[in-house]
């Protein structure tokens, strides 16, 4: 049988639009933490690209750490339970922590992580999410720094995946519901 060409992904945010917004967030972080240092905590894997760009838009002293959580299954019978797969390498007690996420969707992932990091007694604890889908929220949580608020569309690129694909796209694209497996 002849291969069916994959439908093209439509661009929601171009690399220039993303870069401009990330630069603005970095400037805001610089202003908010003037004379202090921050720990950026990236949530693997989706946040890797955003963290890399955000870190380079920040001038205050900054270190990185990463955590990984189990994908709790985005299906209908999702348990909503999140499991920590990789913990912080270093304690964040007394530090200014900024949790860096590509997208805040139901809020289950960040709800879990925020509660977990708060127990470490950081000096401050904030969330930076490049994308926010407020209409999908199940857990009551909001980000302190938001790149773009978007409607309920499945997006890929700039770290975000569809079955692990498309994380390397420099743009953020909309995945059509009829995209083949
Ligand atoms: C995605 C995304 C966020 C989370 C948001 O990660 O990167 O981490 O889901 O969803 P929520 O607000 O409903 O919890 P995913 O579990 O797909 O893992 P990945 O980052 O490795 O792609
Ligand atoms: Mn993720
Ligand atoms: Mg994913």
Q: What is the pLDDT of residues 17-63, one digit of tens each?
A: 999 999 999 999 999 999 999 999 999 999 999 999 999 999 999 99
How many domains is the chain built from? 1
- Give me the domain span that covers residue 158: 10-72+80-174
The answer to whether residue 5 sits within a structural domain is no
Task: Look at residue 148 and tell me if it is in a domain.
Answer: yes
Identify the nearest ligand to the CA of 162 by its number.
3
Give residues with Cβ within 8 angstroms of 170, minimum separation 6.
Answer: 15, 18, 157, 158
- 162 Cα: distance to centroid of ligand 3 (angstroms): 7
Nearest Cα residue to 172 out of 13, 7, 10, 17: 13
Domain assignment of residue 117, yes or no: yes
For this structure, is 89 an active site residue? no
Residue 131 lies in a domain: yes
What pTM was estimated for this model as a whole? Answer: 0.94
Measure Cα distances from 132 to 81, 144, 152 in Å: 21, 11, 10
Residue 165 sits in a domain whose CATH number is 3.40.50.2020
Reported in sequence order, the residue ranges of the chain that DSSP labels E, i.e. its strands, are: 10-13, 37-44, 61-69, 84-86, 96-104, 124-132, 145-149, 155-156, 172-174
Q: Ligand 1: distance of its center to the CA of 30 in Å?
A: 27
Measured from the Cα of 82, ligand 1's closest atom is 14
Asked, for residue 150, whether it belongs to a domain, the answer is yes
Q: pLDDT tens-digit profile of 80-103?
A: 789 999 999 999 999 999 999 999
């Amino acid at each position: 049988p002849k291969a069916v060409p994959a439908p093209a992904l439509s661009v929601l945010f171009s690399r220039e639009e993303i870069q401009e917004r990330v630069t603005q967030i970095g400037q805001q972080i610089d202003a908010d933490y003037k004379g202090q240092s921050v720990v950026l905590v990236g949530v693997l894997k989706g946040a890797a690209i955003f963290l890399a760009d955000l870190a380079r838009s920040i001038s205050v002293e900054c270190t990185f750490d990463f955590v990984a959580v189990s994908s709790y299954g985005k299906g209908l019978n999702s348990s909503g339970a999140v499991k920590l797969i990789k913990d912080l390498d270093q304690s964040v007690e007394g530090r200014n922590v900024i949790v860096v996420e590509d997208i805040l969707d139901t809020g289950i992932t960040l709800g879990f992580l925020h509660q977990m990091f708060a127990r470490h007694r950081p000096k401050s604890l904030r969330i930076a999410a490049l994308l926010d889908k407020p209409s999908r929220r199940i857990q009551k949580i909001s980000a302190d720094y938001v790149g773009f608020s978007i409607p309920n569309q499945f997006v890929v690129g700039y770290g975000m995946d569809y079955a692990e694909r498309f994380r390397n796209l420099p743009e953020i694209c909309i995945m059509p519901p009829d995209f083949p497996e």
